[in-house]
Structure 1
Amino acid sequence: MVLWIIFPITLSLVSLIGTWTVGNGNFCQVNQSTGCCWVPTISSSGTYSPENSLFTATINAGSFLFLLFCIFHHAHIMEKHGCHSMLSKFALVFGVVAALGAFAAGNCNPRHLALPHYLGAAISFMCICFYTILLTALTRKCVLTGYEKVLYPLRITSTVVQIIITICYTVLFAQDKYYYLHLSAVFEWMLSVNLELFELSYAVEFCFFSSFMLSNLLSKRDEEKPLMMS
């Protein structure tokens, strides 16, 4: 039971601590002796050695944990509210694609494989927006803990923030001026922190999770078995 409580916290620490290890000053590429705010992008950790190895390992671990998060939440919905299985399956698809996009971004060096790196990051950020929307909708429809009256407004706020910041980050990242690129780096970190806080709220759901729910997801329910034996 304790594992499901600390799971989102572990994901937060793995995703944030490792990517903050930045070297070579490649996040401040403009020749400015003053006025450089020294805020790295998350991707800057994966450009040069030796921190790029830690970056790759961190993103891989974060992607795997996020994938488990998606599967566990889907299993919880299927066990408690099977009538909303279709909505939960759509959420699971977006979550899996987001995890794969993050995995591609983490394993493609932005210096040598910039296109797949940024493409994977873009797919991940976009799918995460839809994923948070669907999970917030499921919070409104499904009573899993009895604390939905508190969790639902918090997740609505987090989802709105995630969408707004994603749009701002996308617009600013496409600019050429350093000032806008610096702001995009700030928004990128805000995206990551907001997502981790969103997932951290599911520690409440994990208190009510059991391994039976996951095993039941892998086996056919009685109503799904054929009535006539072959």
Structure 2
Amino acid sequence: MAFWIILPISLSAVSFIGCWTVYGLALRFHHVCSLSNWEYSNSCLTNETGSCCTGHNIPTISGSGTNFPENSLFSATINGASFLFVVFSIFHHAHIVKKCSVHSLLSKCAMVFGCIAGVGAFVAGNCNPAELMFLHNLGAALSFVCICFYTVLLTFLTSRCMLTGLERALYPIRIVFSSIQVILTILYCIFFSQKEFYYRHISAIFEWTLSMNLELFELSYAVEFYFFSSAMLSVLLSNRDEESTIILS
């Protein structure tokens, strides 16, 4: 059963290693500013592109993956992370249904938010903001909002469903993670909408913090997946069979 802890660990690792590698490449080729660089200008001389920052190279996660060659790795990272996140959402729902069926409806709502968040991230990762800005922003907004609902619902389920026997320790930790996710998402949206480079740079820092916070939140579910069994997936199939029988009758 311990084999299944690979899923949340892989999800966190792919997101963390992939995104920070993309940022490192973008920084190496002067496609984005350093997160520690707070000096911005409306224009830069050609020979100052390595140290001068403008509003076109603010180091957001998506901004780091806009240009070649790092854009290919960015799309691959987002695609892999989105797929794993959807699988994570479905498998965790199966665990809830098997061990705590009384909250299966709430778990299903969480699963839907998780799947929509994965689809939104997939759209954002495959729509280059330099060419498809509207679709990229739509996918990113959908992902950010749904992840907030997802983390809150999963945190609530932690307090209601005894899956591991360690919920007393996990619940307060996840309250912190979900609270940070919601608060920083709101602050990120406020600062990102500002025109001043200083505030948009702050929003970039919030975005990276949100990414790392979500990765830690996902990693905490290695505990649940230690107790996960592939036999639990049969619960989802049996539920579909029951629904089909009801419809036919």
Give TM-score scaled by structure 1 length.
0.91
- Residue 13 of structure 1 deviates from its aligned partner by 1.8
Q: Distance in 1 between matches of 2:183 and 2:244?
A: 45
In the other structure, the counterpart of 2:154 is 135
Aligned match of 2:32 in 27, 38, 43? 27
In the other structure, the counterpart of 1:4 is 4
In the other structure, the counterpart of 1:174 is 193
Q: Any conservation in 1 of the 2:8–2:221 contact (CA below 8 Å)?
A: yes
Aligned match of 2:132 in 109, 113, 116? 113
Number of aligned pairs?
A: 229
- Residue 72 of structure 1 deviates from its aligned partner by 0.6
Q: Distance in 2 between matches of 1:220 and 1:86?
A: 12
Q: Distance in 1 between matches of 2:99 and 2:216?
A: 24
In the other structure, the counterpart of 1:163 is 182
What is the SS of the residue equivalent to 2:194? coil
Q: Which amino acid aligns with 1:54?
A: L
Give TM-score scaled by structure 2 length.
0.84
Over aligned residue pairs, what C-alpha RMSD do you find?
2.5
1:84 aligns to 2:103 (yes or no): yes
Aligned match of 2:218 in 180, 196, 199? 199
Q: Distance in 1 between matches of 2:95 and 2:231?
A: 10
In the other structure, the counterpart of 1:144 is 163
Gaps of 5+ in 2: 34-39
What is the SS of the residue equivalent to 1:19? helix
Q: Distance in 1 between matches of 2:143 and 2:160?
A: 25
Q: Which amino acid aligns with 2:10?
A: T
Q: Which amino acid aligns with 1:11?
A: L
Q: Distance in 2 between matches of 1:225 and 1:105?
A: 35
Q: Which amino acid aligns with 2:32?
A: F
Q: Distance in 1 between matches of 2:148 and 2:161?
A: 20
- Residue 10 of structure 1 deviates from its aligned partner by 1.4
Q: Distance in 2 between matches of 1:198 and 1:188?
A: 15
Q: Which amino acid aligns with 1:75?
A: A
Q: Any conservation in 2 of the 1:46–1:110 contact (CA below 8 Å)?
A: no
In the other structure, the counterpart of 2:13 is 13
Deviation per CA, 1:46-79: give whole Å up to 9, x if none: 2111110100000000000000110010000000
Q: Any conservation in 1 of the 2:60–2:204 contact (CA below 8 Å)?
A: yes
Deviation per CA, 1:114-165: give whole Å up to 9, x if none: 1110110111000000001100111111000000000000000111111111
Q: Distance in 1 between matches of 2:163 and 2:16?
A: 29
> CA 1:96–1:181 in structure 2 vs 1: closer, same or farther (change >3 Å)?
same
Aligned match of 1:44 in 59, 63, 67? 63
- Residue 224 of structure 1 deviates from its aligned partner by 6.7
> CA 1:78–1:26 in structure 2 vs 1: closer, same or farther (change >3 Å)?
same
In the other structure, the counterpart of 1:101 is 120
Q: Distance in 1 between matches of 2:134 and 2:175?
A: 33
> CA 1:93–1:13 in structure 2 vs 1: closer, same or farther (change >3 Å)?
same
Deviation per CA, 1:156-185: give whole Å up to 9, x if none: 011111111101100010011111111111
- % same residue: 61
Q: Distance in 1 between matches of 2:185 and 2:207?
A: 8
